[in-house]
Amino acid sequence: MPARLKLLLAVGAVLAAVVVVVPTAIATPARTVSGEWSTSQLNATGFKPAGANLKLPGTVDSVWSGDLAGTTVAVATFLIHADGSVVAAPARETFDGTLFGVRSGTLSFIEEAHSQPDGSTEIDATIIGGTGELAQLHGRVIFLGICDINGSCTGTYRGQIQG
């Protein structure tokens, strides 16, 4: 058998293996995650008037339970509007804990948080990185809850995680 034909057959076999293996690795199904969360009060690191509003940079520590269980630290500048509503975007949050109680590591999120004058709060969080057994995860989690005037919050989360 000529060397050229052997090379073509070998390359063909490798390409066939890639076609079979790669889609299986990429196509891991998304899994739903859910649970509860609570935060400590806002630890303000300064403040600055912004017209009728107030910019308040700070950090917030939280505890998550459920499918994602662990602790986090969020860093953001909170824009407090004159009507009492609050926006924090982009916020950065680092989760340290477990997924489904078996995979551990950290997850980094970028978030957009909105709180209404009555304290009702929604946070849209997208995974932008991770470490350890959580390094290959990506997805999105939505947090719903209620926050008090000091920034302490409680609520639930639900989302889709893949990887």
pLDDT in tens, 38-92: 999 999 999 999 999 999 999 999 999 999 999 999 999 999 999 999 999 999 9
Neighbours of 21 (CB within 10 A): 10
SS3 content of the chain, % helix, strand, coil (to 5): 15, 60, 25
Neighbours of 93 (CB within 10 A): 21
Rounded CA-CA distance 98/86 in Å is: 30
Q: What is the pLDDT of residues 7-51, one digit of tens each?
A: 334 444 444 444 444 444 456 799 999 999 999 999 999 999 999
pLDDT at 94 over 90: yes
**pLDDT value at position 151?**
84
**pLDDT value at position 15?**
41
Rounded CA-CA distance 46/34 in Å is: 34
**pLDDT-based confidence at residue 1 (cuts at 50, 70, 90):** low
**pLDDT value at position 147?**
95
**pLDDT value at position 17?**
43
Q: What is the pLDDT of residues 100-143, one digit of tens each?
A: 999 999 999 999 999 999 999 999 999 999 999 999 999 999 99
Rounded CA-CA distance 113/123 in Å is: 4
Rounded CA-CA distance 32/15 in Å is: 34
Which two structure tokens, joined as six digits, stand for 74?
């969020």
**pLDDT value at position 16?**
45
Q: Are strands 53-66 and 43-44 parallel, antiparallel or unpaired?
A: antiparallel
Q: Which helix (H) or strand (E) holds 150?
A: none
DSSP 66-91: ESEEEEEEEEEEEEE-TTS-EEEEEE
**pLDDT-based confidence at residue 149 (cuts at 50, 70, 90):** confident
Pick left, alpha or beta for residue 36 (phi over 0 → left; psi -120 to 50 → alpha; otherwise beta).
beta
| Tally of CA atoms within 13 A in the half-sphere of 26 that contains its CB | 6
Residue with structure tokens 């639930």? 156
pLDDT at 6 over 80: no
**pLDDT value at position 150?**
85
